[in-house]
Chain A
Amino acid sequence: MGEKHVVSGNIAAAYGAKLCRPSVVSAYPITPQTTIVEKIADFVNNGEMDCEYIRVESEHSALSACFGAEAAGVRTFTATSSQGLALMHEILYGCSGARLPINMAIVNRTLAAPINIMAEWNDAMPERDSGWLIQWCESGQEVLDTIIMNYRVGEDKQVLLPQFCCMDAFILSHTYEPVDIPLQKEVDDFLPPLELEYILDVNKPICIHPLCDDRYTPEFRWGQEKAMQNARQTILKVGEEFYEKFGRRYGNGLLEEYKMDGAEVALVTMGANVSTARIVVDEMRKRKIAVGLIKVKSFRPFPIAELRETAKKVSVIGVLERCASFGMGGPLYTDLRSAIYGLKSQPLAIGFVAGLGGRDINKNTVERCYEVMLETAKTGKVPSNFVQNGELYYNHIDARKE
C-alpha cells in the first residue's frame, strides 16, 4: 500500500518518474512544466533519485540526449510543454521511428501565437501522427499511474514505442490533490529493469538508424504500425495487471464509460474535462435526464473498437475538446467520426471546441454541450450549419456568456 500525499499533478509526475528508476533524465524548464524538473533536481541532489540528470540547453537537446541514452540501452525520462514540445518535434519522429521507448510527461499549454501559458491541447495534437503512444490524464493520481504504466507498455518487446503522458496546464499540473504514491518496492515488482535487444554495445556492434530509402522504409513503417496495434493489447493487459497490483484502473486502459446505461446522448472528452463532466452527468441523471460520458484515455492508439461499441448505445454523440485543427474542426471530433463511420446505428456527431487559450471549461460549458445534443436527439437535426452529408459543425462555446 502506498503513502497518501497532497501533491500537484507536476509533483505526482515527478514521483512517477522517480519510482520508475530512469537512468538518465534530460529536461529543460518551461512553464508550466517547470516544477516537474525542479522536483526531480531536488530528488537527484538529495540522493533520493539515482540517475544522471543532464541539464540541457534546450528541449530539442533534451529529447536528443534521451535518444542517445536510450539507444545505449538505459531507461530515460523527460517532460515538456507547448513551445518545448514544438521544438522537439523533429526528434519525436526520430524516437518513434528508431523504436526507442522514451517516456515523456506533457503539460498541455497553448502553442504561440499568441504567447499564452494556459491550458490548451494544441501542443500535443500536432504530434498525433508521430507514432508516440499518447495517454491523457484526468487527475494527479492518474498522471503518476500512467507514467508507470507507460514504461511497461512502451518497453514491451512487441511494442517498443515512446510514450506521452498528457495533463492540462495548471488545471492538473498545479492543482493539489491527494495522491497515493506507491512504495518503491511495489513499482520495482511491477516494472522490471529495461532490457532492449538492439543497443549500442561495443561487444556487439550494430548500426542504429542508418540512411534508408524506398526499398526498405515502408517495411519499417509497417513495423511502427504493427507496434501500435500491439500496444492496444498491451495497454489492456497492463491496465489489468496494474489494477491487480495497485487497486486502481482507468476504464480498460484505453477508454472508460461513465453512466452510459440507458443514455440517450453521450459526451466524449479527455483530460481534466472528464472530472467536470462526471459531476454534470451525476446532476443531470438525478434530474432523470439520460446522459452519459465517455472518457478517452488513450488517444494513440485510438480506441476505435471501444468507441464503435459504445457509440451504438446513443443517438447523438458529442465531442468536447480544448483544441482545433483550423479548417477542419477538433482533432478528437474528427478522429471519433472516422472511428464510428459506417456503423449501422451511427449516431449524429457534434464537435464542441472550448477552452482554447485556457478559457474555463466549467459545468455550464458541459451542460450546454448536453443541451445541444439533447435538442439534436429530439429534432434529429444538428443545430445550424450542419449538413448531414458530412459537412461538420463545430460550435465554439464561450463560458464568459454563462
Chain B
Amino acid sequence: MSEKIPINIIELPETEYFESGHTACAGCGGALAVRQAMKILGDKTIVYTPACCLLVFGSTYPLNAWRTPFFQCAFENSAAVAAGVAAALKRKGINDVNAVVFAGDGGTVDIGLQAISGAAERNDNVLYICYDNEAYGNTGMQRSGATPFGAWTTTTPVGTIIKGKTEHKKDFPRIMISHSIPYVATATVAFWRDYMQKVARAKDMRGFRYLHVLSPCPVGWRASTGDTIKLSRLAVETGLWILYECDHGAFRFTGPSRLIAEGMKQRKPVKEYLQLQGRFRHLTDKDIALIQEWIDKNWQEYSKFAASTKG
C-alpha cells in the first residue's frame, strides 16, 4: 500500500503556475482545481486543455494564465493529443516532464471517451485530470453524462412534464479502473490535502493516470459564489461523491469517505447538499428519496468492490 505523502501548506510553492487575472467566474471550482494541482505539478509540466471553460478563461488571446507551456487542439481528442506530446518527450529523452490534460467533464466522459479509452489501453504516459462541474459549462450549462439525476440544465430544463435530468451520473472513474491503468483517483477541491496527495502520487508515476475532481460551479449549479467549498465538502459528507484511489489495482477509500466506509462517520442526509443549489430546487421528496437510494446502492457496490481488491 502506497505511503501517505505529506502536504505541508507552508511548504507549498509561492509560484502560481496558473496566474491571477484569468477570467473564470467568481468562485469557480474548476479554476481552483487547476490552481491546487499546479502547486504540486510545478514547472515541469506541459498542459493541454480541450475546448472547455478552462480554455476560455485561462487562454484567450492575448491573455495567457499559464506559466507552463500550454496548448489546445479540439474538443474530444485530449488524451490522443497528450499521447503525442508524451511520445515526443520520450523521443527527446525528456523524462522529468509530465504531459498533463485538464479537461471538463463534457470533453471527458462524453465526447472524449474514445480517445481516453484508447490512451488508457495503450497506457500512454499522460496524467489526465478531469475537473467535473457536472455539465457543459463553457457553452452555457447543457447536460453531460456527468450531470447528476434530477439536475436542471439548459437541455434538461424543469418543464411541466419532464423536470431535470432523468438519468443518473455516469461513473467515469469506475470505467477508468476497468482499464487497469496504474492510477485512478477521485478528489474534490474542499479536501485539498487529499487532492494534492493524489496529484503528488500520480505525478511521479508513468503510464496513464486519471484523476476526477468534483469542481462545483456556482453559476451553473445556481448556488452562491461563496459556497463552492461548502458544496464540495457536503458532496463527500453526504456520500454523493466518494473519495478514493486505485493504485495499480489496489483500491482504498480516502479522506472522509474512508471514515464513512469504516463506519466511523455517518453520511449526512443528501438534502443538506441539494438545498444549497438552485438546479435542484424543483426536486420533490420522492426525487430526493430516489437520489438517497442511489447513494446507498452506490456505497454498497463500492464497498463490495473495495473488499474484492484487498489481498
Contacts and interface: CB of A to CB of B under 8 A. Distances in A.
Q: Do A and B contact each other directly (Cβ–Cβ < 8 Å)? A: yes
A66 to B, nearest CB: 6
B89 interface: yes
Contact of B118 (A61, A202, A213): A61
A68 B61 contact: no
A71 B84 CA distance: 9
A61 B77 contact: yes
B122 interface: yes
B96 to A, nearest CB: 9
Contacts of A70: 84, 88
A69 interface: yes
Contact of B85 (A68, A94, A212): A68
A103 B171 CA distance: 39
A206 B69 contact: yes
Interface in A29-45: none
Interface stretch (B43-51, B159-167, B183-191): B43-51
Interface string B56-82: 100111111011111111101101111
Given A73-B92, A209-B72, A67 B61 contact: no
A57 B115 contact: yes
A54 B59 CA distance: 29
Contacts of B69: 200-202, 204-208
Counting chain A CB atoms within 10 Å of each CB, the highest count among B66, B80, B115 belongs to B80
Contacts of A73: 88, 92
Contacts of A91: 73-74, 77
B83 interface: yes
A200 B70 CA distance: 7
Contacts of A209: 71-73
Contacts of A204: 69
A80 to B, nearest CB: 14
A68 B48 CA distance: 9
Nearest to B78: A64
A396 interface: no
Contacts of B115: 57-58, 60-61, 64
A67 B73 contact: yes
Contacts of B224: none
B269 to A, nearest CB: 42
Contact of B73 (A68, A72, A201): A68
Given A91-B73, A202-B44, A211-B61, A60 B80 contact: yes
B219 interface: no
A224 to B, nearest CB: 16
B124 interface: yes
Interface residues of B, number: 46
Nearest to A28: B118
B7 interface: no
A186 to B, nearest CB: 23
A90 interface: yes
Find the residue from B43, B45, B61, B79 having the highest chain A CB count within 10 A.
Answer: B61
A65 interface: yes
A213 B79 CA distance: 26
* Among B61, B84, B122: residue with most chain A CB under 10 A: B84
Contacts of A24: 84, 87-88, 91
Interface string A44-85: 000000011011111011101111111111101000000000
A216 B59 CA distance: 14
Given A60-B76, A200-B71, A211 B81 contact: no
A210 B59 contact: yes
Contacts of B74: 64, 90-91, 94
Given A202-B46, A210-B61, A57 B91 contact: no
B80 A56 contact: yes
B84 A205 contact: no
A202 B68 contact: yes
B285 to A, nearest CB: 44
B45 A202 contact: yes
A74 B94 CA distance: 13
Contacts of B60: 210-213
B225 to A, nearest CB: 23
A23 interface: yes
B71 A207 contact: yes
Contact of A68 (B55, B63, B84): B84
Given A64-B74, A202-B46, A23 B88 contact: yes
Contacts of A60: 76-77, 80, 115
B90 interface: yes
B114 interface: yes
Interface of B: 43-46, 48, 55-56, 59-64, 66-74, 76-77, 79-85, 87-92, 97, 99, 114-115, 117-118, 121-122, 124
Given A56-B80, A72-B84, A205-B66, 19 more contacts: A24-B91, A26-B84, A54-B84, A57-B121, A58-B118, A64-B84, A65-B84, A69-B88, A70-B84, A72-B46, A72-B92, A91-B73, A200-B46, A202-B46, A207-B64, A208-B69, A209-B72, A210-B61, A211-B61
